[in-house]
Amino acid sequence: MRYFFGISILFLILMITQTIAHVASQTSQEDPFSEGSNWTYQLTKNSNTEGTGKYKGTSTTIEISKGSVNVTKSNSTVLIIEDSRITYYNSSGTGFFKHKKSENISNTIITTIERQTLTVRSCRINNGTSDQFVEDKSMIGKPTIHFISTNLKEALNVKLFWGNENIVCSINQKAINPHDNNSSLITLNYSGPKVVIMQTVTSFPKEGKIDSTFNYDENTGLLLSYNTNETAKHSEGSCCWVKTDKIENYDVRSISLWTQQEVSNPEMNEALEYAFDNLQIIMAAIGISAIIIVGYIVLYRRRTVHKTPK
């Protein structure tokens, strides 16, 4: 009887411990992108255009942007990031493309991202000339470029929305993360056809091709760098053609992530249901144990009485 009593108590302790551990593991998870997290970056764009025949001339455009991205809201449903940047723009041309322009441009982009699908819910842009933001509806529902899922596996394909177009990239996970030696990079590659934007004084058919690489941190899914090389050519017979090359490089310079415990509502409900089911079992076990204990006490007292000398 004593052994049975001890086993019952041990069983109760194990069930209570299991329930507490399950609830704790299901209701909280680390979120590296809590409010206050930020990262800085540099973006360079270099576009060169050359023409012959009636389009004879050259054009060069250089853009250097320095920016900072801040997480302004973070929960299990959405992530809101504010991207503020200053761009140093310089463009000049000769012949058919003759022009000269130089300016500094400030703009802010506020993007609301769906956490589950990593798609854009809203994108508002301020060009720095006023306090008003304009909604970019073309981005709604598109995959965000800033993050990818950390559950992606090699040999799979993933869709990105980059340069106003969907591109399907292959996945590779090998290189060491330059910002964290304890993690690797998820590298996405795409080489193939793409609409190329020619930054010139006039417009031409823009069908071209691109070679691109996008590097993400495997632990957080954050975009750390990318480089792209776009080319396009427009021909009018054998005498006249225009070709353009555009190189773009993005590099994160510093990262400051504030980790916090995020509670997910669906996971909380599931955990509470689990705890409730186990609680019923525990209560039944407690009732049975109570009966056993009472029975043991009564039996013990009877034996004690019988052994007492008269």
DSSP state of 155: T
Provide the pLDDT confidence category of residue 69 given band limits of 50, 70 and 90. very high
Q: Sheet harboring 157-162: ordered strands across?
A: 134-135, 120-126, 99-114, 78-95, 57-74, 38-51, 240-256, 223-236, 207-217, 180-195, 165-177, 157-162
Q: What is the mean pLDDT of residues 94-102?
A: 93
The pLDDT of residue 31 = 75
- Lowest-confidence region among 12-26, 34-48, 162-176, 290-304: 12-26
Mean pLDDT, rounded, of the chain: 80
Q: pLDDT exceeding 90 applies to what percent of the chain?
A: 46
Bridging pattern class, strands 78-95 and 57-74: antiparallel
Question: Is residue 307 scored above 60 in pLDDT?
Answer: no
Higher pLDDT, 148 or 267: 148
The pLDDT of residue 180 = 67
Q: Rounded to an integer, what distance in angstroms lies between the CA atom of residue 68 and that of residue 127?
A: 15
Q: Rounded to an integer, what distance in angstroms lies between the CA atom of residue 117 and that of residue 123?
A: 16
Stated pTM of the model: 0.72
Q: Rounded to an integer, what distance in angstroms lies between the CA atom of residue 164 and that of residue 85?
A: 20
The pLDDT of residue 207 = 80
The pLDDT of residue 157 = 83
